[in-house]
Amino acid sequence: MHDSAIFLPLREQHERLRSGTLRALELTEVATQQYARRGLHDHAYIDWRGDRALESARVTDTLLQHGADAGPLMGIPVSVKDLYAVSGYATYAGGARRLPAQWEQSGPIITALMRQLPSLMGKTHTVEFAFGGLGTNPHWGTPRNPWDSMQHRTPGGSSAGAGVSVVSGTASLALGTDTAGSVRVPASMNGVAGFKTTVGRWPTDQIVPLSSTLDSPGLFANRVDDLAFAFSALDSSLRGSRCSEITPPPLSELVFGVPDSYFWDGCSPGVAEAVNAAIERLAQGGARIIRLELPRAQEAFELFQAGGVASVELAAFLNTRFPERIASLDPSVAARIMATESMPAWEYVRRREQIASLYDEGKTRLAKVDAMLMPTVISTPPTLQSLESEGAYQKANMLALRNTAIGNFLGTCGLTLPVGLDAIGMPVGMQMLAGPGQDARLLAIGRAVEAHLGDRFALLGELPDV
Residues marked as catalytic: 81, 158, 182
Strand partners, 372: 257, 433
| Coil, helix or strand at residue 367 | coil
3-state secondary structure of 219: strand
- On the 0-12 / 13-18 / 19+ scale of CB atoms within 10 A, 157 is buried
User: Which one, of 179, 181, 183, 164, lies nearest residue 227 by Cα?
Assistant: 183
Q: Which residue intervals of 205-267 are DSSP H helices?
A: 224-239
Strands in 264-334 per DSSP E: 288-291
- Kindly give the interhelix angle for 345-366 and 297-305, rounded to the nearest 10 degrees: 150
Contacts of 105 (CB under 8 A, 6+ apart): 85, 87, 206
* φ, ψ for residue 46, nearest 5 deg: -85, -25
List of residues 6+ apart from 389 with CB closer than 8 A: none
Taking CA 154 as the corner, what is the angle to CA 149 and CA 160, rounded to the nearest 5 degrees? 110
One-letter amino acid for residue 252 of the chain: S
Q: For residues 93 and 191, is the Cβ–Cβ distance under 8 A?
A: no
Cβ atoms of residues 256 and 289 within 8 Å:
yes
Residue 59: partners with Cβ closer than 8 Å, 6 or more residues away: 117
Contacts of 330 (CB under 8 A, 6+ apart): 94, 127, 128, 132, 136, 137, 138, 139
Q: Do 110 and 30 meet the contact criterion of CB atoms below 8 Å apart?
A: no
What does the H/E/C string look like for 97-145? CCCCHHHHCCCHHHHHHHCCCCEEEEEECCCHHHCCCCCCCCCCCCCCC
Ramachandran angles phi, psi of 430, nearest 5°: -105, 125
